[in-house]
Structures are given as C-alpha cells and as structure tokens.
Structure 1
Amino acid sequence: MIDAIMNTHYARALPALLEGLQLTVLITLIGLLLGFVIGGIFGLGRLSKNKLIYGASSVFVEVVRGTPILAQVLFIYNGLTKDVIGMNIDPFTTGVIAIAINSGAYIAEIVRGAVYSIDKGQHEAGRAQGLTSRQTMRYIIWPQAFRRMIPPLGNQFIISLKDTSLFSVIAVSELLYRGQQYYNATFAFFETLLLVCILYLCVTIPLSIILRRIERKLDV
C-alpha cells in the first residue's frame, strides 16, 4: 500500500513542489516587507500638502497600479539590462523587486485610506497637547491607522502570493514553475496542477481565516 502511494505522481512531485512553495512564500514575505516601506512613503506622500511630493507619489501609484505585474517583472528582468543599469538582475531578485514595487503601490492606497479614516479630532487633540504634526502622526494617528491596515495588508499578502506564479516566465523556481518542470518531464498534467492548487490553498485558506478573526477582534 505504502509503495503504491509513493509511486504516484502526487508523492513524486511533492518534494519539489514544497521547495517551490518555500521560495514562493519567501519572495512574498521579503517583497511585502519592502512593499510596506514603499507603500508607507508614497501613501503618506499622497496625503502631503506639498504639490511636488503629492504629484510624484500619485504618479508612482497610478503607473504601477495601471500596468500588469507581468509586464513589470519582464521590464525589470529584460528591460533593465546590463547595458542600462550596469548589472544583471537574477530571477529571484527580480521577483522580490516586482512584488515590492507592485504591492507598494497598493499598500500606499491602504496607508492613505487608513490614515484618512482617522477622525480629524485626533489631529486637533495632538496639537492641543503641544505635539508637532509629525509627533501627532507618530504617536496618535499612525497606531490607530495601522490597526485598520492589518486586514487589507493580509489580503495583499494573498494577492502577492498568487502573483508570484507569473514569475515562472523568468524561470523563478517558485511553486508553479516547479510544477511545470515536473509535468513537462512526466506529462502528469492533472496530478501536478491539482497538487499545485492544493498547496496554494494550504497557505491562503488558513491565512484568510486568521484575517477574519483578527478583523472581528479589532472591530475594523
């Protein structure tokens, strides 16, 4: 019985697919951490009263959100060649950069919306206590806004995780690419792709459940 199970395509493909899943999650985590920094900068820039900062932030957000991530990753990998930037970018780094930039644009809107949703009275309360605008943002507005960012940030993680499947076009050894390698060698299309989908769901479904619980707990 055990030998029969081990000889199935599911068992044979699983080790390589799990390695691909690890890389998928790693790219997503690193990319989103960088994306949160980018999103925080441009999200606050979208709230700035300085026309230059507001304009530059808006252009970044609209350009990135208005173009598909597949085009972005191909541009970074093939467009930014050694002749352009003086160095080649490897597939893994390209994937991380693409997730960071793409998620950063969407996180910028999450940040802007969360900060904007805080009652203006909070700003006035901070000023009444003698805090500067920057201190008011840091100690009063940002902690409240961050609570409201958690559910949409979790949703962005799920979106970015699935977006990594597009990176197979530049040979990033993520989950789907590993699956393609296996079924190209064995022609076991159904078994391999079914297992790929199941592994994606093993990450996204528990995370969705956790996010719903957090949302109810935070009452946001």
Structure 2
Amino acid sequence: MSSSDTLVKSGATPPEDPADLDALAALPGVPRIVPRRRPGQWAAAALVLALLALVAQSVVRNDKFQWDVVGEYFTTAAVLRGLWLTLWLTAVVMAAGFALGTLLAIGRLSANPVLRSVSWGYVWLFRSAPILVQLLFWFNIGALYPTLFGIKTVDLLGPVTIAIVGLTLHEAAYAAEVVRGGILSVERGQIEAAQALGLGTWRRWRRVVLPQAMRAIVPPAGNMLIGTLKGTSIVSVIAVQDLLYSVQLVYHRTYQVIPLLLVATIWYVVVTSVLSVGQYYVERHYARGSERSR
C-alpha cells in the first residue's frame, strides 16, 4: 500500500509540497514516511565517481600533458590575439547571420510565393553544403570572378572577409529556421487579440509576437552561438589567425602539439562556460511568468 493510500484511509490529506512531510508525520495515526532506499543508484554513483577520480588522477599526473608548457603559453600575446579574433568573428557572424536569417524567416512566412520560394531555396542550399566546402568555395571565388566592382578579387576579399561572408551565409540559413520556429510558436489567438485591440503591425510584433517568440528562439540561438564560437576554428584552413591557428603556428615551431592544443581547448571551455551562464539568465528573463522561469 502506498503512502498516499495510507493517508487517505487515515483521514489525512496528502501534502502537495514534499517539505510538509515532516509536519505531516507528527499527525496522530499517520505512520512515519521512510524514503525508498535505492542501493543500485548509490552503487552506480560511487562507480562513476571512482572512474572520474581515476581519469582526473591520470590527467594530472601524466607528465606528457606538459602542464607547465600549458601555463607558459596560456596568456601569451599570440594566443590572446587569436582568442580576440575568435570572439570578434563570432560576434560579427552571429549578428549578421541573425539579421539575414530574420529576413529569410519573414520571407518564408510571407504570402508572396516568390519570396517564400527564394527563402526556402536559400535555406535548403546553405544547409545542404558543408561549411568547409563553402569556405573553400569563397576562398577560390577569384577563379570565377577575377574582378568585382572593378577591383581584383584577391584584393577585395581577404581571408578574414571570406571567413565572415562564408560563416554568415551559413549561419543565416539556420538562424532563419530558429526565428521562423519562434514566430510560429506564438498562438494565432494572441495576434488576433492584438489586432482586435487596434494595435498596428509594428506594435503587434514588438509587444506581442517577439516577447513570446523569444522564449522559443533563445535556447537554440544560444546553442548556435556556442556552436559558432567553436565552428570558427574551421577558418584556420584559410589561414585566418584565430585561436586554433595561433596555437598551430606555435606548435609547428616548437613541436609541443598536445600542450598547445590544451591551451586552445581550455580557452574554448572557459568562453563557452561564460556564454552558457549568459544564456541561462537570458532564458530566465524571457521565461518570466511561465512555469519554466521557476
């Protein structure tokens, strides 16, 4: 017999809050409630903790990781310049990608069949081609168009510009689907109610649609931001001196591959952790008034 059945038969009302169990146990005729023992879960947890301890000990005590070299290069000027370019590139690509993606999302939701088809075609094409292929294509665009606007392509499109163009066009395709999904998550009745109140189109979007759509947009957008941060490492193939390329230049000279890769890895983990904390607070802000905000 369950505890709730016992409480019902004894004439007591089962508590909604588990914190009231102690007070309930003091009632006459109510048996003491004992939590269910789960020895299997505790054994599994102990096994996992033991394995984690062994792995941590192995990483810390293994001299081949060369932690002294990691500390030596962690804040060098070359690494910090690469980190700054990575952060700057991530910010530019995300801002431009979501600006273009929002236009594409509006086009996909448009009643105009031409805009709807062109937007769908863009999303289909840029989501189908791997980002590495796209970057290499833009890097070799001079073979197709030696001059653009009367300027030699090699002078107009440097490695950093190519990285921005290629990553932005790629991210915009995914941002379009994120924004479109967020807009579609807003109930039609909300928009109709705003129309009934006489709100104009801009005020409907600003006051009704966007605040509710952001609840669905922020989580995948945060994942895209973190993915873009890590995805910028691919620009090293076109000689953009981001964080990964900066450490590659060092270990090509010193042959200390593992510790230099650890430098890049730790920086990626630190920045990703900071972005994850920021995402948490942004999600909580837009989830105010809903159960998810608790």
TM-score by shorter chain over 0.5: yes
The alpha-carbon deviation at position 84 of structure 1 amounts to 5.4
Are 1:83 and 2:151 an aligned pair? Answer: no
Are 1:208 and 2:276 an aligned pair? Answer: yes
Structure with the bigger RCO (C-alpha within 8 Å, sep 6+) is 1
**Which residue of structure 2 aligns with residue 39 of structure 1?**
101
**Which residue of structure 2 aligns with residue 8 of structure 1?**
69
CA contact (8 A) 2:236 2:244 kept: yes
Equivalent pairs: percent with the same residue?
Answer: 36
Counterpart residue type for residue 55 of structure 1: S
1:142-191: CA deviation from partner (whole Å, max 9, x where unpaired): 23213432222221111111111111111000011011111100000011
Change (3 A) 1:130 1:9: closer
1:83-130: CA deviation from partner (whole Å, max 9, x where unpaired): 153433111111111221111111101100000000101111122123
**Which residue of structure 2 aligns with residue 70 of structure 1?**
132
Change (3 A) 1:80 1:135: farther
CA contact (8 A) 1:46 1:53 kept: yes
CA distance in 1, matches of 2:147, 2:138: 11
**Which residue of structure 1 aligns with residue 196 of structure 2?**
128
**Which of 263, 268, 273 pairs up with 1:195?**
263
Unpaired runs of at least 5, structure 2: 1-65
1:48-77: CA deviation from partner (whole Å, max 9, x where unpaired): 121111100001111111111111111112
**Which residue of structure 2 aligns with residue 143 of structure 1?**
211
Question: What RMSD, in angstroms, separates the aligned Cα atoms of the two structures?
Answer: 2.2
CA distance in 2, matches of 1:153, 1:80: 33
**Which of 226, 237, 249 pairs up with 1:181?**
249
Are 1:23 and 2:85 an aligned pair? Answer: yes
CA distance in 2, matches of 1:214, 1:195: 29
CA contact (8 A) 2:160 2:240 kept: yes
SS in 2 for 1:8: helix
The alpha-carbon deviation at position 192 of structure 1 amounts to 0.4
Counterpart residue type for residue 201 of structure 1: V
Of the two, which has the highest radius of gyration? 2
Change (3 A) 1:160 1:80: farther
CA distance in 2, matches of 1:65, 1:91: 22
Deviates more, 1:138-147 or 1:20-29: 138-147
1:14-69: CA deviation from partner (whole Å, max 9, x where unpaired): 41112101100101101111111101100111111211111000011111111111
Change (3 A) 1:104 1:121: same
Counterpart residue type for residue 11 of structure 1: E
Unpaired runs of at least 5, structure 1: none
Judging by fraction of residues, say which structure has more helix. 1
TM-score normalised to the size of structure 2?
A: 0.68
CA distance in 2, matches of 1:28, 1:62: 23
Are 1:157 and 2:239 an aligned pair? Answer: no
CA contact (8 A) 2:126 2:169 kept: yes
Change (3 A) 1:9 1:153: closer
